[in-house]
Amino acid sequence: MTALRSLVAICCLFSSPAVFACSCSNSTPIQRTSDHYADRAVFTAHVVQLMGRIYNWDGKRLSSQVLAVVKERYWGLPWYWPKIVILDGSYPCDIAMEEGQDYLVSGHRWRYGVLGVNGCSRTQPLSMAQVDLRTLDGSHCAGPGGTVMGRIHRGRDSYRVNPIAPDLEMTFRDQDGNIYTAQSDDDGIYEVQHLAAGIYTLDSRISERQYLAGGFTVLDKVCGEADALVREYEISGRLFPGLGYHASVKLQSVQSAEKWMPGDLRPDGRFYFNEVPDGEYFLVVSSVLQGAGNDLYYPGTSDRSQATRIRILNHAAVGAKEFDFKPERIPFVAIPVTIDFANESAKFSWRILLVTPNNIVEDERWIPGAKYATLYGLRGQSYAIRLLGDPDYTASRETCTSADVPVKATPERKIVHVAAPEACR
């Protein structure tokens, strides 16, 4: 009880009348071998009392600041720390913890008996931590290569509130087109070890009426989490692989351009629509590359009057079943870029910019170990490629920029080589 009284006395330091939130994500499960978690305290705990502002959600009581009883210690929590601790998940990037719930905790030791679990720490209910419990000791994450794992769910929006999808096979490809498969187990979890570092594209369509939303990158000697979601669809089509994050698709009412519904364009180039109301539509592709008012209409025209009308009746397209754009009419061109390093420096993380004299058109993060990064331009247009090194703030505060390399957007997909600046190596 002495420990409990001393910790309750501290609570006034951590009370807050309001809770703030921010957008963040952490796709690296907790693993002992990762530098990201080396300075964390990782353990399980049971929430016994709420502190600060209390929230009621779906009949549950939650708070961003709680008292919890430590159960199993993995690493980072000294033996002389009390059995009862304060978990503070408040600003920034709040998390709210439920009264009476067990948690897998990943926290920073702020002061004796107090741990910060905010900021995308991956502190989460123990019942939802199956992936992290597998990666805790780091054995799944050892090289060569890296590991990707995640849970497959069925549903529309939120992954974790939807039922799992056990015994489901997924197919994905590396940047050379090599095919890999994985299958979810009874807990809906799939796992693939020893993949080469780089970018992988998931084959989205898994049946005539279902597709899989997901995708991932792999880092060397690291476990990465990439959940996936089985969704239903009624209407589908295709642009080309890789464009998924650079454009959007929609069904636009023939009667009014202001009435439309969005589609889901996946990285493998396929797009999907579900629960489309009856009516006549144009299928439209939009991208910042084209600029406002320069949309592309199915099957590949910029003239709305020449676009094909698509009639939807009883949640199905009348006539055609698939709506694949003609590749030769698509104005976008992929520009693969690789960075040539003499000696790659850990001082910088790299971004690859596609620029014009007056504008940054594209900005892609370089994935260490990837064969190339893909940017997109308009067919026939001239651009320049520029590298920008963002500093590791423990080493430097200065960015590093390369000289521009001229490039023209052509369909050949020839890889553009850009040397890392000598001063940045």
Q: Which domains does the chain have, with CATH numbers?
A: 2-131 (2.40.50), 142-232 (2.60.40.10), 237-326 (2.60.40), 332-424 (2.60.40)
What is the model's pLDDT at position 224? 93
Per-residue DSSP letter, 325: P
What is the model's pLDDT at position 215? 83
What is the model's pLDDT at position 328? 85
What is the model's pLDDT at position 320? 80
What is the biggest distance separating any 2 CA atoms in the chain, rounded to whole angstroms?
A: 79
What is the model's pLDDT at position 112? 96
Distance CA 78, CA 85 (A): 12
What is the model's pLDDT at position 260? 93
Is the CB of residue 32 less than 8 Å from the CB of residue 106? no
Q: Which two tokens stand for residue 69?
A: 């009883």
Summarised one tens digit per residue, pLDDT across range 217-232 is: 898 889 999 999 999 9
The CA radius of gyration of the chain, in Å to the nearest whole number, is 25
The pTM score is: 0.83
3-state secondary structure of 36: helix
What is the model's pLDDT at position 37? 94
Per-residue DSSP letter, 414: P
Closest CA to 193 of 151, 143, 228: 143
What is the model's pLDDT at position 392? 64
Q: Which two tokens stand for residue 211?
A: 């597709």
Dihedral sign from CA coordinates of 120, 131, 40, 50: positive
Residue 35 neighbours by CB under 8 Å, 6+ apart: none
Mind listing the pLDDT tens digit of every residue in the chain (425 residues)?
334 333 333 333 333 333 344 556 788 999 999 988 999 999 999 999 999 799 998 889 999 999 999 999 999 999 999 999 999 998 777 899 999 999 999 999 999 999 999 988 999 999 999 999 999 999 999 889 999 999 999 987 655 667 889 999 999 999 999 999 999 999 999 999 999 988 899 999 999 899 999 888 898 889 999 999 999 999 999 998 888 777 899 999 999 988 999 999 999 999 999 999 999 999 999 887 776 667 899 998 889 999 999 999 998 899 887 899 988 888 888 999 999 987 666 677 889 999 998 888 888 888 888 889 999 988 999 999 999 888 765 555 677 888 899 999 998 888 999 988 876 65
What is the model's pLDDT at position 16? 34
Q: Which two tokens stand for residue 59?
A: 């009949």
Distance CA 157, CA 129 (A): 19
